[in-house]
C-alpha cells in the first residue's frame, strides 16, 4: 500500500514560567479541504491528526463558512483536556487531504475549538480507516492509502 508522507508543523510557544525562553510544539498537521457532501464549495484548513480525539472535530465558526446551520444539527455535550460541557453539533463532511486521501465522515463542530482555529482528525471517521505512523524524531508522519 502506498504511503503518503507529511512533515510535522512547528508551533512556537511563548515564554512562560516553566519555559522562560519559550519552546516549540511539533505536531502532525495536514492541510485539508472540508465540505458538506454534495456541496461544490468548501473550506481549506489545518487539521491535527489526534489519536486521542474520539471524533473528527472542527471549530463552530467553520460551519458558517461551509453554509451549515448548527441549530439544525443533532447535538451533544462533550469535553476534552481541561474542558467539559461543550455543546457539540454533528453532521456529515467530506475531508480531502490530497494525494488520494479523501473520505466522508460524521464530524463535529464546537465553539470550544474556535480559539484554536484548526480541526482534529480523530478515531471515528479517520483513524478507523487509515493506518498512520508517527516519526516524531524525524518530524514527519505517514498515512497508508488503499
Provide the whole-model pTM: 0.92
pLDDT digits (tens, 9 = 90+) for 54-95: 999 999 999 999 999 999 999 998 877 567 788 999 999 999
Residues contacting 107, CB < 8 A, separation 6+: 34, 55, 56, 57, 58, 90, 91, 92, 93, 95, 125
Pick the CATH number of 28-139 from 3.40.50.150, 1.10.3470.10, 3.30.460.10, 2.40.70.10: 2.40.70.10
How much is the pLDDT for 84?
A: 75
Average per-residue pLDDT for the chain: 93
Per-residue pLDDT tens over the stretch 90-114: 999 999 999 999 999 999 999 989 9
Pinpoint the alpha helices (H) of 51-121.
60-65
In angstroms, the CA 62 to CA 52 distance is 22
Amino acid at each position: 500500500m502506498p504511503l503518503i508522507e507529511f512533515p510535522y508543523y512547528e508551533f512556537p510557544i511563548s515564554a512562560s514560567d516553566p519555559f522562560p525562553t519559550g519552546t516549540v510544539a511539533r505536531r502532525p498537521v495536514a492541510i485539508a479541504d472540508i465540505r458538506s457532501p454534495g456541496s461544490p464549495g468548501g473550506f481549506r484548513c489545518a487539521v491535527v491528526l489526534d489519536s486521542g480525539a474520539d471524533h473528527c472535530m472542527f471549530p463552530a465558526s467553520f460551519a458558517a463558512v461551509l453554509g451549515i446551520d448548527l441549530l439544525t444539527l443533532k447535538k451533544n455535550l462533550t469535553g476534552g483536556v481541561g474542558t467539559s460541557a461543550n455543546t457539540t453539533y454533528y453532521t456529515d463532511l467530506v475531508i480531502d487531504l490530497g494525494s488520494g486521501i479523501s473520505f466522508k465522515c460524521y464530524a463535529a463542530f464546537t465553539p470550544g475549538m474556535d480559539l484554536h482555529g484548526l480541526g482534529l482528525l480523530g478515531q471515528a471517521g479517520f483513524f478507523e480507516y487509515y493506518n498512520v505512523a508517527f516519526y516524531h524524531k524525524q518530524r514527519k508522519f505517514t498515512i497508508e492509502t488503499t
